Chain A
Amino acid sequence: MSGRTYLGMPAFPVAAKASTKDERLRANLRHATRTIRDKRARAVGELDDWALLREAGKRIKDHTLRHLDTYLLQLEERVTAAGGTVHWAADAAEANRIVASLVHATGETEVVKVKSMATQEIGLNEALAAEAINAYETDLAELIVQLGDDLPSHILVPAIHRNRGEIRDIFRAQMGRWGRPAPQGLTDRPADLAEAARLHLREKFLRAKVAVSGANFMIAETGTLVVVESEGNGRMCLTLPETLISVVGIEKVLPTWQDLEVFLQLLPRSSTAERMNPYTTMWTGTTTGDGPRDFHLVLLDNGRTDTLADEIGRQVLRCIRCSACLNVCPVYERAGGHAYGSPYPGPIGAVLTPQLRGTTSEVDASLPFASSLCGACYEVCPVAIDIPEVLVHLREQVAAQPGHGAERAAMKAAAWLFDHPAALAAAERAASATRAALPRTLPLGPAKAWTDSRDLPELPAAPFRAWWKQHRTTRQEPAE
């Protein structure tokens, strides 16, 4: 059972100091993110109306969020009418309690799980373990993470930090402890690794009585839930057990059935770079003779309503967890997902985690700064979340917290100087005049952070202003 959690993670720059030097991690991430980047561009390039779909996706989400109470109530009514039961969880602890008691009520002590970000976020597996319930992850990458007693480092491909050789070693060493051991002589061919997972998990699927899932979309108009996946583990969990418990963030609701025509185009192409992912399951409540007899929907808040209250931050709730922003992010590629200290790594994590958890811990306060603001994430985001805008907005909140006194003073001094040109000119002249005395490396603070790896620029003999004064008096007026 994976006991590792994100508690007490170091600040982003501290974690990244180590991970940027991990050559194998860097190579794994470089290879994987570059593979998917080009493919995404091709899949998106096939649709000449991508910009219109993106705009529609953005507006549908904005409209839904503006009327979230209405759509959640409609959803609740439709799910209930179709034979499901709806629960509301204000926070992680309540969601975990609800799920545990639903599992207890079935008399079972194990559940199979479809990959779900919401259950990662609330630490469901650990909470169930504390209640003597084993939760088995069935997504291939989640399985790799669980068997390796590891933490996910990517939204779509939680084991992206592992290469095929490492995966083979984990399977060989750990599968036997959890159930069917890895086949003799398992190689590191991806097809063989997939086959090993198939054999290992088949037994669990066939005997499972309870499954836990998330959902990509919930349709208020019809009460339909949608799970998008590739491997078939989702279908197994969603159809074979008798009881299905879906834990879904409240922002995942969409108003109408028709809205899926937008999101089922945006999501697969942004996520796995496919025209359509191999499997999508849609269900509405329960159906006699087909799939689970009991269906429970747990609607999760856990900080989302706080995010909703923030005028700039609320756009982050449009996110459909495609992970395109991670795959293009130069910071993510070099720092790796674990440095973000939450199940949501990369650009989306940097804007979502500080809103869900607040910015009091070191790592959460460092996340808004874990970006060069290059904007690559915004460019690919299928629902046009202006991640740089939200990052800067969150930086403002962090900068206002205690502990930023020195920086604030420096920023204030610079701003003052820039607002007083005479003083500025004097400072520039002084800097130029004393430039020979500047050392190449500096011992402390931001200056040290710069000069550890970079020379400082050589200051000019005179600032531009000085040249201009001279130039203005000597230049010939250009012919009109």
Chain B
Amino acid sequence: MRVALFATCVNDAVLPRAAIATVRLLERLGMEVDFPEQQSCCGQPQYNTGYRRQTEPLVRRMARAFDGYAYVVTPSGSCVAMVRDNYPRIGAKARTEGRGEEPAVAAASLTPRVLELTEFLVDVLGVTDVGAYFPHTVTYHPSCHGLRVLGLGTRPLALLRAVEGLELVELPGAEECCGFGGTFAVKNPDVSTAMGADKIAHARSTGAEVLCGADNSCLVHLDGMLRRQNRGRGDAPLRTVHLAEILASTEADPWSVA
């Protein structure tokens, strides 16, 4: 089966490990993975900050980049949510505001084919045991867009539970937002970090080594706070790891920090 990877701009430029892990995982599962190089950003930061019209070219670009692929898989719930929830809105508004049919047509053609990684694994491939090995204690933060907009439900947990060597511990207050929220993190830094601090305190309370998430934008924020906190701390550092990295890790080729 041929699938296209939508790496997302954050993973491409800043956190390539999650995208690399997604490729390795999908190839291990027998997929033929493509990375259409015309892809860039889904437009979420612009859209959520109030610059909808500037996302129209990105909607068109995304649709062109992924034209012809039955499945577009991405390791980022919020980007899938952007495509699924907001692309149709952007298209409809472009139409009513007299800027033509193209964004609406682009949205309609692309939206149903874009899947979040765990959706693709569980719903399309029908697997929860992907043959991974990750001998660490892990707690899972279900990012808001994955949780509420996509309704990922138990898919990520089911995948984690099947990982050999992995001990999954429940995160208290798991469904609460971590405080990232895109530009919210810089427009309301005090509230954002107050939320992040509580999320981290909950994660630390589990005793886990790894705070896992399926959305790197949240993890950038939490990791930034963690590394600030960890400096000078004596105890074993808690670190953030993307779900794709855990699922890509095997006994032969285990995950490592570097």
Task: Evaluate contact between B176 and A330: CB separation under 8 angstroms.
Answer: yes
Count of CB-CB pairs between chains A and B under 8 Å: 195
Task: Evaluate contact between B181 and A464: CB separation under 8 angstroms.
Answer: no
Task: Evaluate contact between A415 and B54: CB separation under 8 angstroms.
Answer: yes
1/0 per residue, CB under 8 A from A, across B45-86: the answer is: 111111110110110010000000000000000000000000
Q: Which of A454, A464, A468 is within 8 Å of B224, CB to CB?
A: A454
User: Which residues of B, 9-59, contact A by the 8 Å Cβ criterion?
Assistant: 9, 11-17, 19-20, 23, 27, 30-32, 35, 37-41, 43, 45-52, 54-55, 57-58
Q: How far is the CB of A97 from chain B (nearest CB, A)?
A: 37
Task: Evaluate contact between A334 and B194: CB separation under 8 angstroms.
Answer: yes
Residues of A close to B149: CB separation below 8 A: 375
Task: Evaluate contact between A457 and B15: CB separation under 8 angstroms.
Answer: yes
User: Which residues of A, 439-465, contact B by the 8 Å Cβ criterion?
Assistant: 446-447, 449-450, 452-457, 459-460, 462-465
Could you say which interface size class chain B belongs to?
35 or more
Task: Evaluate contact between B41 and A330: CB separation under 8 angstroms.
Answer: no
1/0 per residue, CB under 8 A from A, across B165-199: the answer is: 00000000001110111111111111111111000
> Is B7 an interface position by the 8 A CB rule?
yes
Q: How far is the CB of A478 from chain B (nearest CB, A)?
A: 5
Task: Evaluate contact between A371 and B184: CB separation under 8 angstroms.
Answer: yes
Task: Evaluate contact between B30 and A478: CB separation under 8 angstroms.
Answer: yes
Q: How far is the CB of A456 from chain B (nearest CB, A)?
A: 7
Complex Cα spacing A475 to B186, Å: 40
Q: Which of B23, B57, B175, B192 is within 8 Å of A372, CB to CB?
A: B192
In the complex, residue of chain A having the shortest beta-carbon distance to the beta carbon of B148: A375
In the complex, residue of chain A having the shortest beta-carbon distance to the beta carbon of B65: A421
Task: Evaluate contact between A460 and B15: CB separation under 8 angstroms.
Answer: yes
Task: Evaluate contact between A370 and B46: CB separation under 8 angstroms.
Answer: no
Task: Evaluate contact between B181 and A463: CB separation under 8 angstroms.
Answer: no
> Is B127 an interface position by the 8 A CB rule?
no
Task: Evaluate contact between A464 and B7: CB separation under 8 angstroms.
Answer: yes
Task: Evaluate contact between B191 and A396: CB separation under 8 angstroms.
Answer: no
User: Which residues of A, 326-376, contact B by the 8 Å Cβ criterion?
Assistant: 330-331, 334-335, 368-376
> Is A66 an interface position by the 8 A CB rule?
no
Task: Evaluate contact between B188 and A331: CB separation under 8 angstroms.
Answer: yes
Residues of B close to A334: CB separation below 8 A: 191, 194-195
Complex Cα spacing A424 to B136, Å: 36
> Is B228 an interface position by the 8 A CB rule?
yes
Which of these binds chain B: A46-54, A148-156, A296-304, A405-413?
Answer: A405-413
Given contacts A375-B144, A415-B57, contact A408 B188 (CB under 8 A): no
Given contacts A373-B181, A418-B43, contact A468 B35 (CB under 8 A): yes
Task: Evaluate contact between B228 and A455: CB separation under 8 angstroms.
Answer: yes
Which of these binds chain B: A13-21, A105-113, A168-176?
Answer: A13-21
> Is B245 an interface position by the 8 A CB rule?
no
Could you say which interface size class chain A belongs to?
35 or more
Task: Evaluate contact between A399 and B51: CB separation under 8 angstroms.
Answer: yes
Complex Cα spacing A464 to B14, Å: 8
Residues of A close to B38: CB separation below 8 A: 421
User: Which residues of A, 61-86, contact B by the 8 Å Cβ criterion?
Assistant: none
In the complex, residue of chain A having the shortest beta-carbon distance to the beta carbon of B149: A375
Given contacts A392-B50, A478-B31, A479-B30, contact A373 B184 (CB under 8 A): yes
Task: Evaluate contact between B224 and A465: CB separation under 8 angstroms.
Answer: no
> Is A188 an interface position by the 8 A CB rule?
no
Residues of A close to B17: CB separation below 8 A: 460
20 cross-chain CB contacts under 8 A: A16-B190, A371-B181, A372-B181, A373-B182, A374-B176, A376-B148, A376-B176, A392-B52, A395-B50, A396-B51, A396-B52, A414-B46, A415-B46, A418-B58, A453-B196, A453-B225, A453-B228, A460-B14, A464-B13, A465-B35
Q: Interface of A with B (CB < 8 Å)?
A: 12-13, 16-17, 20-21, 26, 330-331, 334-335, 368-376, 378-379, 389, 392, 394-400, 407-408, 411-412, 414-415, 417-419, 421, 424, 428, 431, 446-447, 449-450, 452-457, 459-460, 462-465, 467-468, 471-472, 475, 477-479
